[in-house]
Structure 1
């Protein structure tokens, strides 16, 4: 029996060494989570505007368009529970914080990363932020995301070919998306996206997400920072398909939370639909995500809003 165990260990030891090496190389490979966590560890004290949120935030709000020092911590499939945990983790280092910006998307109050098709992203918060999101130790392993062949290709591309694995990510956490080439390109995904983002039960996750919003507000108040909720512009083809009951519930919730003293809400959903010029589609990447052109316009508007709020103090 002892010999069998010994032979088994000898047999599998090369595989274990390969897996450990592979996992180590993958963890050290730059990604959006690493960049953002590293920035917060070293630059939190200088950050005046902190942007939270999901894909709409990471692609729709450009920190470089703000007069104040801003940083974007949003990420794909990032939900309010994670936003709250990120803000809580770094609150003691955010010495200069003046504003927290949270995009209130159509689906946000009825979702959690546990329900998301991209829930595999949970482990990145464990690895890079030190926030305990993924409870299963095996699911925290990066090499299990891809086939071994793909993993080796990823490693080769970065370590040997010196290719940038995150070419569209700016140093301040914004993802650059190219403009759509036509109206058809914008509209073609509208129905599919609406279907995925419309809640079948408006009580599902709603009350727990309200608590996360309140936690964010309270941390903001503790830091003497204002909280700005904002609904980011979407294309008309997306807006016309929205479930009005869900949308109105989002609006009423946001307006109830806003006191216009410490907490503010701005509905910009139709901002880019007021101008129906032929090039309107260039402001979008798809029907509910802005291109870098749209993000620049929208971010400048947010900057103007902040300047107005500053004057009121």
Structure 2
């Protein structure tokens, strides 16, 4: 029995070492999450305007066009509870405005329980957040083994890393030169974002996300910081397929917060006529041209509420 155990150990030890090295080298490949975590760790205290939220802000706001010291901390499928957890990790000595997107799905989504739950490992590994899912604690436990080996080759051999944002956190891949079937995409996106707001999961997500918003408001009021809630522009094809009940519940909640807190402001730009189809990458995301226009518009709104 003792010899068998020794043989097993001799066989498994090199495998464990090999897997450990793969994990180590995978974690050291620069990516959007590690970049943003490092940026906020070093420069959060200098930021005047902080953009949070999901892909609508990640691809929709380019702080390079802002007159303020701004940073885009949004990421694809990043929900409001994650926004709050990330926000609490840093010191905001010069923060004047927090921009939080409130879109069609915002109050009813949770990354860890959604179709892109695999992204949660990035918050655990690079932002040091907690997760009850053990697979979120290792790169090697996510995705196919062959894909991870390809990532290693891409970075360590060809020197290509996984950062798709610019220096101020804006996602750069949604170019205006790429043409999408916006009408067809609107159908898929609206179906993906529409929920039964009375379901058990929706009620729980609504509770957690609205609680996070209230936490933001309480913090901002104490620190004399403005919060700008915004519903980002979408195409008419997407807007026409949204469910009134879901929109109404979202707007009703926001209305109550705005009425009760003078430091909070809300702008619904979902149907903004200034954003024609040429400014969209797909049915509900702006392209790089739309992002420039939207950033300047938000800048003007920030200036308006600051006076």
TM range (shorter): over 0.9
Aligned positions of 1:249-264 closer than 5 A: 249-259=249-259, 261-264=262-265
Q: Residue by residue, what CA displacement relative to the aligned partner does 1:25-45 show, whole Å, maximum 9, x if unpaired?
A: 111111111011101100011
TM-score (ref. length: structure 1): 0.92
What runs of 5+ residues in structure 2 fail to find an aligned partner? none
| Alignment correspondent of 1:189 | 185
Q: Aligned equivalents of 2:210 and 2:274: distance in 1?
A: 33
Number of matched pairs: 301
C-alpha deviation, 1:181, in angstroms: 4.9
Q: Secondary structure at the match of 2:281?
A: strand
TM-score (ref. length: structure 2): 0.93
| Alignment correspondent of 1:22 | 22
C-alpha deviation, 1:23, in angstroms: 0.4
Q: Secondary structure at the match of 2:100?
A: strand
Q: Secondary structure at the match of 1:29?
A: coil
Q: Secondary structure at the match of 1:264?
A: strand
C-alpha deviation, 1:270, in angstroms: 0.8
| Alignment correspondent of 2:112 | 114
Q: Secondary structure at the match of 1:86?
A: helix
| Alignment correspondent of 1:222 | 222
Aligned positions of 1:1-313 closer than 5 A: 1-90=1-90, 93-132=91-130, 134-166=131-163, 168-176=164-172, 177-179=174-176, 181-182=178-179, 185-202=181-198, 204=203, 205-259=205-259, 261-271=262-272, 274=273, 280-311=276-307
Q: Residue by residue, what CA displacement relative to the aligned partner does 1:196-225 show, whole Å, maximum 9, x if unpaired?
A: 111113452222221111011112223321
C-alpha deviation, 1:275, in angstroms: 5.2
Q: Residue by residue, what CA displacement relative to the aligned partner does 1:121-157 show, whole Å, maximum 9, x if unpaired?
A: 112112111221x223343111122322221211111
Give the 4+ runs in structure 1 shifted more than 4 A: none
Q: Aligned equivalents of 2:125 and 2:156: distance in 1?
A: 20
1:180/1:286 contact within 8 Å kept? no
Decide whether aligned partners of structure 1 residues 180 and 186 sit closer, same or farther in structure 2, where only a CA change above 3 A counts.
farther
What runs of 5+ residues in structure 1 fail to find an aligned partner? none
2:32/2:162 contact within 8 Å kept? no
- Which stretch shifts more, 290-299 or 257-266? 257-266
Q: Secondary structure at the match of 2:296?
A: helix
